[in-house]
Structure 1
Amino acid sequence: MERFKKALKDVFVWDGRDCMYIKNEKERVRARCAEEKCPWLIYVARNSKTMAFEIKTFHNKHTYGRDYGSNLADRAWVTDKLEKRLATQPKLTPREATEHMKQDYNVQVHPKMIQMALKAAREIVVGNDKAQYGKLWDYLQELHRSNWCMKFAITLYACRNGFVKGCRPLIGLDGCFLKGYYGGQLLTAMSLDANNHVFVIAYAVTRAENTENWMWFLTRFQDDLGDHQVHGWNLMSDQQKLTEMPYVHAVAAISKLRIKVTEDFVSPYLTIDAVRKTYDLCVNPVNSKEFWEKTDHPKPQPPRIVRPAGRPKKHRTESGAPLPLQ
């Protein structure tokens, strides 16, 4: 029911109208437009048979225009919306936040409210990210309980087993940026299954993508997977390209030889049997964090934020004029 009321508030903020609750209980809610003669009405209650909430009555028609004096977009509501935005855009500026509220929620928020809400949202997001670092050892313990894995550079047993038994002996290495407040790099080792789908084998989070961190990751990856010279693993970085004969040309060449049993030309890594071997084991789900076993290890601290040298870049509008208030 709380999710419904949040969604209802979002609708009224977008429409620029005020909402009034006629009945506001845990099992049922009846709400209407705040204008006295407006027929807009909605009634939601729990279904006794399915035990799910459903809309019983809905009159979706307003007879009044937008109310520019609506107070539904309060600081708590704005903070909640900016908190979600900061999760993917940690360097959000007040001007960008104002534009985000205008474009995504059709509401013009006062600059002072934007500043206060952005500050509160940033404290929540940064606090949550910092708390996650303190739970790394507990998370690792939970991974060992549900899925056998290698420490720090995580290789789940189901992924390792699937690669060894069913994937072609080609390992692709790549890294990408993490867009959280503390940043970092995600290093990955992956392969391709029989259906040419990406199959992740191992991954790790490091402060930066450099030779030292790649050596650390690959050393632990080799300890878990085995020596590439013994097993014949082939490594390919993101700067290398793989070329091969197109399937159409290969089929034409086989047809020219007039060979009836074309299966002899199919690699065992591209068969249904290879798919079964790759996905023979599944990755077991982990418990919710409140059920994790607490460890005695000291809580890790988040990395220190290193600001780049020089003045930060500013995003300016073409006219340079402030956004008008409605």
Structure 2
Amino acid sequence: MEFKEAVREYCILEGRRIWFKKNDNVRMRAIKTFVDDHTCARETKNRLANKKWLACKLVKKLRKYPNLRYSETTQYFKTKCDLDLNKSSLTKALGDARSIVYGDAAAQYGMVRDYGLTLLKSNPGSTGLINAVKEKFKLHDWPTNMVVDLGKKLCTCGFWQLSGMPCVHACAALARAGKRPEEFCHEWLTMKAYNNTYAFYINPISGQAL
């Protein structure tokens, strides 16, 4: 495979287009004779420059220039390889390169809660608050759609505002965000409020004998 990638690299830089014959997983057809004299025009839209090859090149650029933009990548490949690239392929390649350099953002956010629990275990007595919730959701319901705002604890159905308890739409949004519905109930409905209500007691006093 290293030989194949070397041939790909050479052909892209030279602006040539070749086709690889199908090989099995182990063996590859060898080149016995190589003629480097060409009369054909240079290829500026080379299919050999696939998404994988583009991403591999962009990884090095991203590590050096973390804020690399799409327009800059287009200019980079045009200047270095004289390539006119498809916008969709280059955008996907840039996204793949960012995932390699910075990691998958969704996967990293999914580990935030585990990271917080690890910190609490290693630092007994500490407290931590993780607030990384997407606040607004649109749910497709019948006969109308509902909008849930987790930050303001609102739903267009009105049940959450009236009862203080998340409605079915809010519960669906909370499940999507990986949150527990009981954490979004009104404080008057919590066990803490219940215990505070009965925290006081009245001393008995002597009354009139019946």
TM-score range normalised by the length of the shorter chain: 0.3 to 0.5
Higher relative contact order (CA 8 A, sep 6+): 1
Query: Which of the pair is proportionally richer in helix?
Result: 2
Query: Which of the pair is proportionally richer in strand?
Result: 1
TM-score, structure 2 normalization: 0.43
